[in-house]
């Protein structure tokens, strides 16, 4: 998979990336295989997140992925719970205030595939974050996430 060169971006600058540039980096073999299996392209949440992360990096955003989706043994799961890992926390957290809504504290995105379904705990986290002054949304697919980020002013129109 190709990656967008984030090092070419001037420090503090914002760069936009077109959808065609993003999709060119998706593994062509997987697309061809999916096209043969179905007439539509199926993209996993992981693939969507990898593309979203490229956009976040390209726009020099201060963010992290909350890696709480991993499978763990009961013993290690208990250790993680004692350390503060919470069920349903959104996938991406942007620490900067949204440029178009500076009164908000930051942004959280729970990313789903087009046919994905949010759990009750994911819905609860999004609602709690909104109540506590954050922009938060469950986004279904890359286009939905990019639209949300544009609305907030994190990225420019492509």
pLDDT in tens, 114-144: 999 999 999 999 999 999 999 999 999 999 9
- pLDDT tens-digit profile of 60-119? 999 999 888 777 889 988 898 899 989 999 999 999 999 999 999 999 999 999 999 999
Angle separating helix axes 45-58 and 142-152, nearest 10 degrees:
30
Distance CA 84, CA 70 (A): 14
Query: Among candidates 18, 6, 98, which has minimal Cα distance to 53?
Result: 6
Per the CB < 8 A criterion, the answer to whether 122 and 66 are in contact is no
The pTM of this model reads: 0.71
Burial code of 10-39, b = ≥16 C-beta within 10 A, e = fewer?
eeeeebebeeeebeeebeeeeeeeeeeeee
Q: Which domains does the chain have, with CATH numbers?
A: 6-152 (3.40.1350.10)
């Amino acid at each position: 998979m190709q990656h967008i060169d984030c090092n070419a971006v001037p420090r503090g600058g914002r760069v936009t990336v077109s959808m065609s540039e993003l999709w060119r980096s998706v593994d062509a073999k997987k697309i061809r295989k999916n096209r043969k299996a179905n007439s539509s392209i199926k993209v996993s949440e992981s693939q969507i997140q990898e593309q979203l992360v490229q956009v976040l990096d390209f726009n020099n955003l201060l963010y992290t992925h909350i890696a709480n989706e991993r499978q763990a043994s009961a013993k290690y799961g208990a250790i993680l719970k004692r350390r503060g890992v919470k069920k349903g926390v959104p996938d991406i957290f942007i620490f900067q205030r949204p440029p178009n809504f500076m009164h908000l504290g930051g942004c959280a995105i729970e990313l789903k595939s087009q046919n994905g379904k949010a759990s009750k705990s994911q819905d609860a986290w999004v609602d709690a974050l909104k109540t506590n002054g954050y922009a938060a949304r469950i986004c279904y697919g890359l286009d939905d996430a990019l639209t949300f980020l544009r609305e907030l002013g994190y990225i420019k129109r492509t």
